[in-house]
Amino acid sequence: MVTAKVISIGDEILIGQIVNTNASYINDKLFSIGVQVKKVVTIGDNREDLIHELHDSMQNYDITLITGGLGPTHDDITKPILVEFFNDELVLDEEVLKKVRSIFESRNVLMPETNVGQAMKPSRSKVIWNDNGTAPGIYMEEEGRVFIAMPGVPFEMKAMMENSVLSLLKAKFLQNQEYVLKNKTLLTTGIGESFLFESIGNLDELLKGQKMAFLPSPYGVRLRIDVKTPSTEEADSEISRIEKELYSKVGEYIYGENDDLLEKTVGDLLRNKGLTLATAESCTGGFISQRITDISGSSEYFKGGVISYSNEAKENLINVNKDTLMKYGAVSSETAVEMAVGVRKLMKAEVGISATGIAGPTGATETKPVGLTYIAISIGDKVYSKELFLGDNRHRNRIRAAQAALNMLRKELLLV
pTM above 0.95, yes or no: no
- 12-51 pLDDT tens trace: 999 989 989 999 999 989 988 889 999 999 999 999 999 9
- 179-236 pLDDT tens trace: 888 899 999 999 999 999 999 999 999 999 999 999 999 999 999 999 999 988 999 9
Q: How far is CA 116 from CA 45, 66, 152, 276, 370, in A?
A: 21, 22, 19, 55, 58
Angle CA(124)–CA(122)–CA(61) in degrees, nearest 5?
70
Three-class SS state of 120: strand
- What is the per-residue pLDDT for 308? 97
**Residue 351 · residue 304 · CB < 8 Å:** no
Q: Give me the tens of pLDDT residue by residue for the chain, a chain 416 residues long.
A: 899 999 999 999 999 899 899 999 999 899 888 899 999 999 999 999 999 999 999 999 999 999 998 877 767 789 999 999 999 999 998 888 888 888 888 888 888 877 787 888 999 999 999 888 888 999 999 999 999 999 999 999 999 999 999 999 999 998 877 788 889 999 999 999 999 999 999 999 999 999 999 999 999 999 999 999 998 899 999 999 999 999 999 999 999 999 999 999 999 999 999 999 999 999 999 999 999 999 999 999 999 999 999 999 999 999 999 999 999 999 999 999 999 999 999 999 999 999 999 999 999 999 999 999 999 999 999 999 999 999 999 999 999 999 999 999 999 999 99
Please tell me the distance from the alpha carbon of residue 382 to that of residue 360, in angstroms, as a whole number: 31
Which domains, ranges and CATH numbers included, belong to the chain? 3-173 (3.40.980.10), 180-257 (3.30.70.2860), 262-415 (3.90.950.20)
Determine the residue type at 3: T
Contact partners, residue 77, CB within 8 Å, separation at least 6: 9, 45, 46, 47, 50, 69
- What is the per-residue pLDDT for 299? 97
